[in-house]
Amino acid sequence: MSDLFIIGLSGAYLGLLFLLAYWGEYRAKQGKSLVNNPYVYTLTLTVYCTAWTYYGSVGRATREGIDFLTIFLGPTLVIPFWWLLMRKIIRICRFKHITTIADFISSRYGQSSSLAGVVALVSLLGVMPYIALQLKAISLSFGRITSQSNFEPTHMMEDSTFLIMWVLVIFTILFGTQKVETTERHEGLMVAIAFESIIKLVAFLSIGVFVTFFVFDGVEDLFSQTQTSPQLVSQYTLSDASQVSEWFFMTVLSMLAFLFLPRQFQVSAIENVSLKHLDTAFWLFPLYLFLFNLFVLPIAFGGHILLSEQGIEADMYVLALPLAEGQQLLAAFVYLGGFSAATSMIIVSTIALSVMLSNNLIMPILVSVPILKRRYTTHLGQFLLFIRRLSIILILHLAYFYYSVVSVQTSLVSIGLISFVGIAQFAPSIIGGVYWRYGNKTGALWGLLSGFLIWFYTLVLPTLPVIERISPDFVERGLWGMYWLKPYALFGLDALDPISQAVFWSLLVNVLVYLGGSTYFVQSSKERNQAEIFVNIQQYYTTDISTITWKGTAYLQDLKMLLINFLGKVRTQEALQKFSEIYGKDWQKKPQADAYLISYTERLLSGTIGVAAARTLIASVVKEEEEIRIQEVVSILKESQELISLNKELQEKTKALEKTSLELQKANLQLTKNDDQKNEFISTVTHEMRTPITSIRAFSEILFDNHDLEVDEKQQFLTTIIKETNRMERLINQVLELERFESGTRKLHLTLLDINEVIQEALESMLQVFHEKNLCLRLGLVENILPIYADKDQLLQVILNLISNATKFAKHKITVATKMDDEHICISVADDGPGIKPELHELIFEKFYQAEDQNIRKPKGSGLGLAICKKIVQYHQGHIWVESQEGGYSKFIFRIPFRTYLKK
């Protein structure tokens, strides 16, 4: 195909991109953004698929089989985590007006300008080979399609790659540096990138379908033909252990690259319009990758079968196949697909790098050198744009230089992987910074530097021509013959391929240094402040917590001048108008700005010149009181002391409240219990009274209705009526007695008395019962017992009750005894009856309680006797209890202190 046609086609395609970009910008100005669409957002993410994917994957698949897939499986596998992480990162970027990955890392670690500079430099060096790779792909494809693959230009102006590079410079400058504020999205550019994503996918699918179904007779036919080639048969599987480990490391590497490549950061976070768009990318992006890779193996194997003998390099099978089959138009379309893949990557990466270079490397130096700052102070905004445009030219020229000197000797895949490992060094400081609040600047900086150093030593240095002169056998024998410093087998690790071992060592050292540095060194207050915001961004996203960063004052005029210098008068006016809408207009009345306005200005500047430079500029106009004065310390201590004292007081009050609450709970429980007891008492008394009343009524009715009853019968009925009446009277008396005790109205008539005499009196009244029941009485009374001060009738009632109970249950004998010690006198009544279960020992002293087990103790009486006994003994400040063995004996004992009464 003629080179003029291809140059014309490339030019026309770039012209179309210009038009699309203009249209995108125009729509955005009309308020009809094309980028505010989840599908467009996902398509811009596919800037991940570069010329490496387009051409290099086929080359790698031919050499190593399915291994090439790891680069695309990684992003698919990590996409759920990407979704989670990106939600945080996007919020942080919006909140802090962050526009680059360097800004992001430096902002997290105390807005350190040195860290921002290092990240920018690492990005530049890491991405440079990648841009060179794209240029190489353009050059190779141009050479292949114009059949000039062996043409070597003698001058740069003869090199089509150089000319295309300049067209890209113009395109990027036109659409990437329109505004000085980088927080504003590049709407036109993103529309062009999304369009290119469609073109490269459709083109690749077209060649895939063509090779599989038109050149060959379907997948089965293609694979059956591969069986004649031993090289292709060996690609059916992962053959050895090193390939297995490579598979794993490549997957991890591509995950990190997808997360942290500057161009991915640019399209994923900075250009994102809505968090909702992440949801569509969640599944659509992996689907795009899947479709892109579906025909890689058929193209690779088909190319090998048909073209390997012609000496065409595998990276170019995509183009060579349609050309070999005479499909010129298809070849041109496929060329455009590869061109799209390369240019989209170059444009986005160059913009991201140029912002980093200007904001994180050049501006911090400019604003911190007074002479430079004074010189450019009135037109800093214009100067910044100039720097950015210059950076774009510089980056693309450096990439062209790398391409001409280094990458011509290296395969597409190798260059891409070298870049991936370099960029993966950001992983510890970003993931740690977002999820671990204790990560600090020292850890991040030294971790990054050490990882980067290993990357440079193991992967970049061996590719540089200069190393040949310093150490000719550098790769085989290590630096100056030190075998443990062999770049592809560092520290003697030769079990892994060069890329895997570089990933392993660089990330291991990076992570360890990051963790060690963060643990050993202390965070500054600024770092702590930032860490809190980054880790808990969900909490701060809607607040204006950034004000806590600044402590001090600044003149309003100084801040205004800063903004005008960078944003221009109109934009400054708009920004301050917006500030008034949020915080009111009071700030305009004072000559000095408060912390809110200072922070607002800083954030506006951060979006334009980067976090670190903004910080330096603001610091130059704000009189910040960094050092704490003695009075402040005293004041803080005083406040702390007051707080401690207040806290203590509060704690005591809380305890007192808790105690009162507990008492109230107890009282409430007691009241409930009392209420229950009252109800139970009424119910029992009613029940007890109903029995005699029923008897009385029944017998009275018989007597009333039957006048002709015999005298004996009448006598018998009347006796029963009288007996039941007595029983009822007794019950009522007992209830009243108990009530008097419980209400505290019962009075004791205390006299000095001999307890033995009281016992004798009680026994005498019970002698008849003993006789009737043929019970043997045993006495164990202490002689010369001391007299006690007590109510004789009450004590007599207690003893009588106990003896009466004993007679009801005794089989043969009853023992009554007294005992005395220094303080008490004890009276016991024992019987040899069936005994009482241990669990009833307390209950039998309750009102109306009667043993449930009728076989052991049959209920006789009202059930109030023992309850009254207990009350009487308690009134005498004594205690009553029972000792019993089930099936053996029961012994009721009560003890009364006589000394207390003697004193009285």
Contacts of 636 (CB under 8 A, 6+ apart): 628
Closer residue to another protein in complex, CB, 243/725: 243
Closer residue to another protein in complex, CB, 220/772: 220
Residues 788-807 touching another protein, rule: CB under 8 A, are none
Interaction between residue 77 and another protein (CB under 8 A):
yes
Instruction: Please name every residue paired with 592 in a beta bridge, in sequence order, or none if there are none.
Output: 555
Contacts of 904 (CB under 8 A, 6+ apart): 750, 789
72-80, 404-412, 516-524, 582-590 -> range binding another protein (CB under 8 A):
72-80
* Shortest CB 429 distance to another protein, Å: 20
* Shortest CB 519 distance to another protein, Å: 23
* Shortest CB 287 distance to another protein, Å: 5
Q: Which H or E run contains 424?
A: helix 412-424
* Shortest CB 419 distance to another protein, Å: 23
3-state secondary structure (DSSP) of residue 412: helix
Say if CB 818 and CB 755 are below 8 A apart: yes
Residues 161-200 touching another protein, rule: CB under 8 A, are none
3-state secondary structure (DSSP) of residue 466: helix
Handedness of CA 210, 215, 218, 224 (dihedral sign): negative
Residues 265-304 touching another protein, rule: CB under 8 A, are 275-276, 278-280, 282-283, 286-287, 290, 294, 297
Name which position in 71, 79, 132, 766 contacts another protein (CB under 8 A).
79
Name which position in 12, 15, 26, 84 contacts another protein (CB under 8 A).
84
Closer residue to another protein in complex, CB, 500/523: 500
Interaction between residue 66 and another protein (CB under 8 A):
yes
* Shortest CB 227 distance to another protein, Å: 10
* Shortest CB 295 distance to another protein, Å: 11
Contacts of 635 (CB under 8 A, 6+ apart): none
Closer residue to another protein in complex, CB, 276/899: 276
* Shortest CB 843 distance to another protein, Å: 54
Structure tokens at 791: 């109510």
Interaction between residue 244 and another protein (CB under 8 A):
yes
233-241, 423-431, 753-761, 822-830 -> range binding another protein (CB under 8 A):
233-241
Angstrom distance (rounded) from CA 379 to CA 357: 19
3-state SS string for 821-852? CCCEEEEEEEECCCCCCHHHCCHHHCCCCCCC
Angstrom distance (rounded) from CA 586 to CA 709: 114
* Shortest CB 247 distance to another protein, Å: 7
Name which position in 223, 333, 541, 681 contacts another protein (CB under 8 A).
223
Interaction between residue 236 and another protein (CB under 8 A):
yes
Closer residue to another protein in complex, CB, 208/865: 208
* Shortest CB 267 distance to another protein, Å: 18
Closer residue to another protein in complex, CB, 222/336: 222
* Shortest CB 493 distance to another protein, Å: 19
Name which position in 78, 215, 318, 685 contacts another protein (CB under 8 A).
78
Angstrom distance (rounded) from CA 878 to CA 443: 78
Structure tokens at 717: 């009925």
- Give the count of alpha carbons within 13 A of 201, CB side only: 20
Q: How many residues bind another protein (CB under 8 A)?
A: 36
* Shortest CB 42 distance to another protein, Å: 12
Say if CB 353 and CB 395 are below 8 A apart: yes
Name which position in 233, 470, 522, 702 contacts another protein (CB under 8 A).
233
Angle at 178 (CA atoms; ends 174, 179), nearest 5 degrees: 165
Closer residue to another protein in complex, CB, 19/287: 287
* Shortest CB 70 distance to another protein, Å: 9
Say if CB 336 and CB 9 are below 8 A apart: yes
Closer residue to another protein in complex, CB, 245/410: 245
Angstrom distance (rounded) from CA 501 to CA 544: 45
Q: Which amino acid is at 584?
A: G
Say if CB 100 and CB 314 are below 8 A apart: no
Interaction between residue 237 and another protein (CB under 8 A):
yes
Name which position in 9, 121, 198, 238 contacts another protein (CB under 8 A).
238
Say if CB 747 and CB 722 are below 8 A apart: no
Residues 203-222 touching another protein, rule: CB under 8 A, are 219-221
Angstrom distance (rounded) from CA 447 to CA 790: 92
* Shortest CB 272 distance to another protein, Å: 12
Name which position in 248, 401, 484, 520 contacts another protein (CB under 8 A).
248
Say if CB 728 and CB 692 are below 8 A apart: yes
Task: Write down how long the chain is.
Answer: 904
In 620-649, which positions are buried (b, 16+ CB within 10 angstroms) versus exposed (e)? ebbeeeeeeeeeeeeeeeeeeeeeeeeeee
Angstrom distance (rounded) from CA 567 to CA 406: 41
Binding site for another protein (CB under 8 A): 66, 69, 73, 76-81, 83-84, 219-221, 223-224, 233, 236-238, 244, 247-248, 251, 275-276, 278-280, 282-283, 286-287, 290, 294, 297
